Amino acid sequence: MVRVRFAPSPTGYLHLGGARTALFSWLWARSQGGRFVLRIEDTDRARHDEASAEAILESLRWLGLDWDEGPEVGGDFGPYFQSERQAIYRQFAEQLVARGVAYRCYATAEELKAARDAHTASGSKAPFKYPGIWRDRTDWPEHQPYAIRLKVDERGQTGWNDLVKGRIDIPNQTQQDFILLRSDGLPLYNFGCVVDDLSMKIDIVTRGDDHVINTPPQLLIYEALGHEPPRFAHVPMILSQSGEKLSKRHAAVSVLEYRDAGYLPEAVLNYLARLGWSHGDQEIFSKEELIRLFAWENVGTSAARYDAKKFLHVQATHLRRQSPQRLAELVRAAIRSDEAVDARWLADNVTLDKAIATATSRATTLEEVANTIRYALLPRPHYDSSAVAKFLSEAACALLVEFAALLESLPTWELGALETATQDWLDARNLSMKALAQPARVALTGQSKNAGLFEILDVLGLERSCDRLRSAAQALRSGAEEAPL
């Protein structure tokens, strides 16, 4: 059975690059009927942040990238935490020492500094390497702290066939006797990674190509342990459109920022998948399609370029693919915390469905949908002062009062009949639709930009529409611009 893992460090939010790495692993596991393992690499206690760990879990849950095993927490699987596995790392490290392929290093900080200073004074252009002070010694002192280092043969080279990048070979002369276990008992990244991947039976390691440098020492550790390594897939980085490393200057890079901005999780997954992977010319994928079609040979070897406009297009496409029922659920969740919203209208399925239908053809995110339809869920709209000043003149207000009377006189409340009656009424007065539509839109919604006039009337219904038309006109006529305008 295929076993893959995602192993973030809890030193910040889950960024887009990390989410894409998790996605590729998850897709492969799901497509092969395998297991997706989540491990939090929290051994760097100076940089470890509990809030970051929880944000990573929250991001994965929102994206729907569920993991298949781990310590049980409250009836559900939690992730593995490296900080809870120190005894396992110590056991593996001491096994390597006992076999003579690793050794205890008692070198002090002062000794290492002196060796580094001597290297610098020699004028050598080569990078400093640990000079093997304790490599061949066995006169280990009692009751003194020590690190454990791997004995590295600097001859030859170490290589692997990468699932994304093809064959990679690195000369061993770039290596040194690197530390496996620090004197405080915590593993360094490469050792902890290998022990965990080995004990968790991981057979494909997916990560960013900035980790290529870590693969040779990890392969040397597997060799020393006498185990076959997993396969590796090093995924190219995500760059800005200008080719720079992606940062907050170029885009919102935290997954949760996109959630809070009203993006759908399936849209984020779709866009991330297409950042470095392709299936012909297809751009829009459901999660089920991604699972069925994902293959390593279709992952690109060059860095992907982030495109905010394309991302928004993918998001808008997924938004319009949602069923009315799911959109209503999502909008309710997005707007429920708004204390100004009248719970009666939020619970009214007919009003909410009509309002959402008027917004989705123009909006691109859930946040935009919520902002567009907010007028329908308030007891009174919140008026934009510039829209009021531009469109609610004294003459316009008089027209709104007459329009309300017309609406109340109609025998049926049906969009087609409503539009026909209104146009006939305007023609009789030699007025254009423009003379009515903008003032009425402002009176009904508080904004000059929203859905069409008759769509808005249909959402609000006869009673609320007439009430708002008259209230806006009355407030202006009395000079009470602040109530309710």
Whether the bond into 484 is cis, omega within 30 of 0: yes
Selecting among 113, 201, 245, 248, the annotated active-site residue is 248
Contact 193, 44 (CB under 8 A): no
pLDDT digit string (tens) for 104-127?
Answer: 999 999 999 999 989 889 888 888
DSSP state of 78: P
Gap between the Cα atoms of 160 and 215, Å rounded: 9
Give phi and psi for 108, each to the nearest 5: -85, 165
Sign of the dihedral through C-alpha 104, 110, 116, 119: negative
DSSP state of 397: H
Distances (CA, A) of 354 to 350, 389, 455, 484: 6, 29, 8, 25
Q: Which pLDDT score is estimated for 347?
A: 87
Q: Which pLDDT score is estimated for 222?
A: 98
Query: Token pair of 169, please?
Result: 């070979």
- pTM surpassing 0.95? no
Residues of the chain with pLDDT under 50: 480-484
pLDDT digit string (tens) for 382-404?
Answer: 999 999 999 999 899 999 999 99
Give the three-class secondary structure for 424.
helix
Nearest Cα neighbor of 185 from 146, 228, 229, 159 is: 146
Query: Token pair of 413, please?
Result: 């409340």
Residue 248 is among the residues annotated as catalytic for this protein: yes
> Considering the chain, what is the average pLDDT of its residues?
92
Gap between the Cα atoms of 61 and 52, Å rounded: 14
Long-range contacts: 81-85, Cβ < 8 Å, 24+? 81/39, 81/40, 81/42, 82/39, 82/40, 82/41, 82/42, 82/43, 82/187, 82/192, 82/196, 83/42, 83/43, 83/45, 83/48, 85/195, 85/196
Contact 258, 252 (CB under 8 A): yes
Q: Which pLDDT score is estimated for 204?
A: 97
Radius of gyration of the chain, Cα coordinates, nearest whole angstrom: 32
Amino acid identity, residue 130?
Y
pLDDT digit string (tens) for 58-107?
Answer: 999 999 999 998 776 666 788 999 999 999 999 999 999 999 999 999 99
pLDDT digit string (tens) for 150-161?
Answer: 999 999 999 999
Does residue 304 come out as left (phi exceeding 0), alpha (psi in the -120 to 50 range) or beta?
beta
Gap between the Cα atoms of 155 and 153, Å rounded: 6
Torsion on CA atoms 187, 191, 194, 199, rounded to nearest 10: -40
Q: Which pLDDT score is estimated for 249?
A: 72
